[in-house]
Amino acid sequence: MNTVESCYNLITWYESGNDRISCQSKGEYARKKIRMTNSNKHFVPRQLIKHHYPHPEFYGESIVELTNGMTTDVYTDDDGTLFTLTNDEDLIQYLMKNALPELMIHLTDGFISLRTITPKDSTLLSKWIPSSPDPRYHNKPLSEQHYLEFLSHSITSQSHMFIVSTKDVPIGFVAYAVINKDAFIELCFPITTNHHSDKTLSLLMHHIQTNHTISRYVSIVWENDMMTIETLIRNGFQRDPEQDCWSYATRTLKIRDILLYKNA
């Protein structure tokens, strides 16, 4: 799972997680053994991570590129934080000198609020994601560990994920990842109205514009997810038909993803 998959192409993460269910027991066994080896275990602040990349080993979770150019493998601990096992003195010194607390962001306009997602929110995701209008999410139960990994990978120096609430009631989540000056946006609103989704998108885009240098916003959406498409179009996004692609096809089901964008 990499940053892109985590934050703008949720279905890619979901399907890869489903494929990994068969090897979950072996992966869990490896993680438990790693957690017992504390002598070389070091906390990796997510703000120091630039990108996630797939791990080449069967039992591995992720390879990360740090903001200083170093790379290391990371694993999600039981509390949702990331750690690495290393003897590399330069890496250890860098992590120790930059031992930042977990980043917590809260955005609000007085009606809608966005707060940084936490491991405690994995229960909400496990309910919301399978109820998505996209049929690829249906009937594919994932483990609590998969959702915990998804949350732990979703926040980096170039990406973030928020729970959306109104009057302290959670109504969905949003996420973004900045890649080559494109801000890829993911929206999920199981419980919402046009007013909620418009205000949420406005808050999210303002946050991205304030904290990153970007040239445009991009969202890749299943063509029948009309609520998300209409929200984006109402807020100035336009479709690029040349970027449409058939991402899934069987004898009974064909799914086409469309790309919508808005210049920053």
pLDDT tens for the chain, 264 residues: list them: 333 334 434 444 444 444 443 344 444 555 565 555 556 889 999 999 998 988 888 778 889 999 999 999 998 888 889 999 899 999 999 999 999 888 899 999 999 999 999 989 988 888 887 776 666 666 566 777 788 888 889 999 999 999 999 989 999 999 999 998 999 999 988 777 888 999 999 999 999 999 999 999 999 888 888 889 999 999 999 988 777 665 555 555 566 788 889 998
Same domain as 166, residue 82: no
Instruction: Please indicate, yes or no, if residue 195 is contained in any of the structural domains.
Output: yes
Same domain as 235, residue 108: yes
Residue type, 16: S
Q: Dihedrals φ, ψ of 32, to 5°?
A: -65, -40
Round to whole Å and give the CA distance between 200 and 195: 9
Same domain as 156, residue 63: no
Same domain as 180, residue 212: yes
Round to whole Å and give the CA distance between 85 and 29: 16
pLDDT of 171: 92
pLDDT of 113: 96
Task: Name the domain boundary from 97, 117, 134.
Answer: 97
Number of alpha helices (DSSP H) and beta strands (DSSP E) in the chain: 8, 14
Same domain as 210, residue 120: yes
Same domain as 187, residue 61: no
Closest residue by Cα to residue 73 from 18, 122, 31, 24? 31
Same domain as 133, residue 222: yes
The overall pTM is greater than 0.85: no
Same domain as 164, residue 34: no
pLDDT of 251: 53
Instruction: Please indicate, yes or no, if residue 8 is contained in any of the structural domains.
Output: no
pLDDT of 21: 38
Specify the CATH number for the domain of residue 176.
Answer: 3.40.630.30
In this structure, what is the dihedral angle of CA atoms 139, 144, 146, 152, given to the nearest 10 degrees?
A: 140
Which residues form the domain of 132? 103-263
Closest residue by Cα to residue 3 from 155, 118, 210, 108? 155
